[in-house]
């Protein structure tokens, strides 16, 4: 288990890769769905607070461990633990992360498949002439057809694993970087359109004017899980990327840039989507289909809507692709470092994730009545358990490891910032982030 010698080509390349991992379905699909289901403003407020108080410190911890260890997550943890006189068993934290990533990727590929289907539909121009009801019904009909859903899921898995297997990730990252400003621009256009709709004021009010009646423990838990998910932290995915971080780059600066961008993209998507919801009299709590119904409705109202919609789904596909690569990469690296060929590792992980994803894919058709735990389908379980439970547990252990186990001198070095900032980060992690995480997780248990 020797150190890796490769580095991202530049500081920017590292930020681009982490942004690629962070910005994805979490911002554009999952965030609006969650806000809608959790009553709006209170969720949004909690989510932003959790990103700042928990997400950022844990993200720093995670990248720092990867960078200080300069190995795959399991090896980095073992190495740093042994060096500091801690237990070898910390390597199991790497395994927990791998399992979490496995489960997340299983449904991520299913939902990315939904947008693949839309990509083709959008360019064939069917949307422009349809009413919101027709668009909603067509989406439900698509979800209810097992063959089409699985076909798209499979296609997306192949796209992801091919990149990971053949290591062309950096090319895709560059493409991603080139095109993401266009995605942000399209979201801005949508928000501009949203501002002309009758639902705009209601949407802003509902999103930004906190309504304390909406708060409940579930809202708190969902907001915390989503904060981890959207930043891609808690499962070692960014630890793997941190291992290649160039010398002399500041972790905090990189992390703050990415987190702010990630929040911004989510807010743009939220404002656009809820303006449509309220102008069309739709239900904000309409679940995981929300984005897939509202955005086509919005685009179909714009001149040249077909082209807009098609472009949007192309860009969304690229955004989700770089996220799914980040989900898959650490698992493949783990198998690879255990001696398997890279292509074999990618194939094994790909097939495993694909198989486990199938029950999620069928949760809107053949398996819609199967509810293994308290009226949750396989899809519901796959989208909540890893996100709301496993990521926060992983995040807690990662944070604990970074501030209580790992050698402090190494941590200072790996942070790439000054000593004062190190102390600040350590205090916030020790006395704010960790206790807060324990508190919410305990709440979930009782």
Residues that bind ligand PHE (CB under 6 A): 21-22, 24-27, 104, 229-230, 232, 235, 237, 323, 326-327
The answer to the question of residue 230 lying near Na ion (CB under 5 A) is yes
Cβ proximity to ligand PHE: between 27 and 300 the closer is 27
What x-and-dash track marks residues 182-221 binding Na ion by CB under 5 A?
----------------------------------------
Cβ proximity to Na ion: between 103 and 231 the closer is 231
Span from 262-270, 283-291, 347-355, 404-412 in contact with Na ion (CB under 5 A): 262-270
| Beta carbon of residue 424, minimum distance to ligand PHE (angstroms, whole number) | 25
Say which entry of Na ion, ligand PHE, none residue 229 contacts (CB below 5 to 8 A, set by partner kind): ligand PHE
Q: What string of H, E and C letters represents the secondary structure of the chain? A: CCCCCCCCCCHHHHHHHHHHHHCCHHHHHHHHHHHHHCCCHHHHHHHHHHHHHHHHHHHHHHHHHHHHHCCCHHHHHHHHHHHCCCCHHHHHHHHHHHHHHHHHHHHHHHHHHHHHHHHHHHHCCCCCCCCHHHHHHHHHHHHCCHHHHHHHHHHHHHHHHHHHHHCCHHHHHHHHHHHHHHHHHHHHHHHHHHHCCCCHHHHHHHHHCCCHHHCCHHHHHHHHHHHHHHHCCCCCHHHHHHCCCCCCCCHHHHHHHHHHHHHHHHHHHHHHHHHHHHHCCCCCCCHHHHHHHHHHHHHHCCCCHHHHHHHHHHHHHHHHHHHHHHHHHHHHHHHHHCCCCHHHHHHHHHHHHHHHHHHHHHHHCCCCCCCCECCECHHHHHHHHHHHHHHHHHHHHHHHHHHHHCCHHHHHHHHCCCHHHHHHHHHHHHHHHHHHHHHHHHHHHC
| Beta carbon of residue 26, minimum distance to Na ion (angstroms, whole number) | 3
Span from 39-47, 103-111, 222-230, 399-407 in contact with Na ion (CB under 5 A): 222-230
Cβ proximity to ligand PHE: between 24 and 136 the closer is 24
The answer to the question of residue 279 lying near Na ion (CB under 5 A) is no
Cβ proximity to ligand PHE: between 46 and 240 the closer is 240
| Beta carbon of residue 345, minimum distance to ligand PHE (angstroms, whole number) | 18
Cβ proximity to Na ion: between 228 and 401 the closer is 228
Say which entry of ligand PHE, Na ion, none residue 326 contacts (CB below 5 to 8 A, set by partner kind): ligand PHE
The answer to the question of residue 225 lying near Na ion (CB under 5 A) is no
CB-nearest residue to ligand PHE: 26
| Beta carbon of residue 46, minimum distance to ligand PHE (angstroms, whole number) | 17
Give residues 11-30 in contact with Na ion (rule: CB under 5 A): 22, 26-27
Give Rg (Cα) of the chain. 21
Count of other CB atoms within 10 angstroms of residue 39: 18
| Beta carbon of residue 241, minimum distance to ligand PHE (angstroms, whole number) | 10
Cβ proximity to Na ion: between 63 and 411 the closer is 63
Rounded-to-integer distance, Cα 330 and Cα 334, Å: 6
Rounded-to-integer distance, Cα 236 and Cα 218, Å: 25
| Beta carbon of residue 22, minimum distance to ligand PHE (angstroms, whole number) | 5
Cβ proximity to Na ion: between 292 and 400 the closer is 292
Sorted by sequence, the CB contacts under 8 Å of residue 55 that are 6+ apart come out as: 227, 228, 230, 231, 233, 259
| Beta carbon of residue 209, minimum distance to Na ion (angstroms, whole number) | 24
Say which entry of Na ion, ligand PHE, none residue 406 contacts (CB below 5 to 8 A, set by partner kind): none
| Beta carbon of residue 353, minimum distance to Na ion (angstroms, whole number) | 19
| Beta carbon of residue 229, minimum distance to ligand PHE (angstroms, whole number) | 5
Cβ proximity to Na ion: between 43 and 401 the closer is 43
Instruction: Count interface residues toward Na ion (CB under 5 A).
Output: 5
Q: Under the rule (CB under 5 A), what is the footprint of Na ion?
A: 22, 26-27, 230, 262
């Amino acid at each position: 288990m020797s150190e890796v010698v490769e580095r991202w080509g530049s500081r920017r390349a590292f930020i681009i890769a982490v942004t690629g991992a962070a910005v994805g379905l979490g911002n554009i699909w999952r965030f609006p769905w969650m806000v809608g289901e959790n009553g709006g403003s209170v969720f949004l407020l909690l989510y932003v607070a959790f990103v700042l108080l928990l997400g950022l410190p844990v993200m720093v911890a995670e990248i720092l461990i990867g960078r200080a260890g300069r190995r795959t997550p399991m090896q980095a943890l073992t190495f740093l633990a042994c060096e500091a006189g801690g237990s070898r068993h910390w390597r199991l934290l790497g395994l927990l992360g791998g399992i979490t990533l496995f489960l997340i990727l299983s449904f991520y590929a299913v939902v990315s498949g939904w947008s693949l289907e839309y990509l083709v539909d959008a360019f064939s121009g069917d949307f422009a002439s349809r009413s919101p009801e027709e668009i909603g019904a067509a989406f439900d009909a698509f979800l209810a057809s097992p063959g089409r859903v699985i076909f798209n899921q499979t296609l997306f898995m192949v796209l992801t694993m091919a990149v990971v297997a053949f290591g062309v990730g950096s090319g895709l990252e560059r493409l991603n970087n080139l095109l993401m400003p266009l995605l942000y621009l399209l979201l801005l256009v949508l928000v501009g359109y949203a501002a002309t709709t009758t639902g705009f004021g209601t949407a802003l009010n509902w999103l930004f004017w906190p309504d304390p009646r909406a708060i409940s423990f579930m809202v708190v838990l969902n907001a915390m899980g989503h904060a981890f998910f959207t930043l891609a932290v808690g499962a070692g995915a960014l630890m793997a990327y941190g291992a290649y971080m160039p010398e002399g780059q500041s972790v905090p600066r990189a992390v703050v840039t990415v987190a702010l961008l990630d929040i911004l993209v989510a807010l743009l998507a939220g404002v656009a989507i809820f303006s449509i919801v309220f102008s069309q009299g739709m239900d904000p709590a309409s679940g995981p289909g929300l984005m897939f119904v509202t955005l086509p409705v919005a685009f179909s109202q714009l001149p040249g809507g077909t082209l807009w919609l098609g472009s949007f789904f192309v860009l969304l596909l690229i955004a989700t692709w770089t996220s799914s690569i980040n989900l898959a990469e650490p698992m493949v690296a783990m198998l690879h470092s255990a001696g398997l060929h890279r292509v074999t590792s990618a194939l094994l992980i790909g097939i495993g994730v694909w198989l486990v994803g199938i029950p999620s894919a069928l949760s809107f058709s053949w398996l819609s009545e199967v509810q293994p735990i308290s009226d949750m389908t396989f899809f519901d379980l796959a989208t909540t358990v890893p996100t709301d439970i496993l990521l926060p547990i992983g995040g807690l252990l990662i944070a604990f490891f970074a501030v209580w186990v790992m050698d402090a001198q190494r941590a200072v070095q790996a942070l790439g910032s000054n000593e004062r900032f190190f102390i600040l980060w350590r205090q916030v992690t020790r006395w704010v982030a960790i206790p807060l995480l324990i508190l919410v997780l305990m709440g979930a248990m009782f």
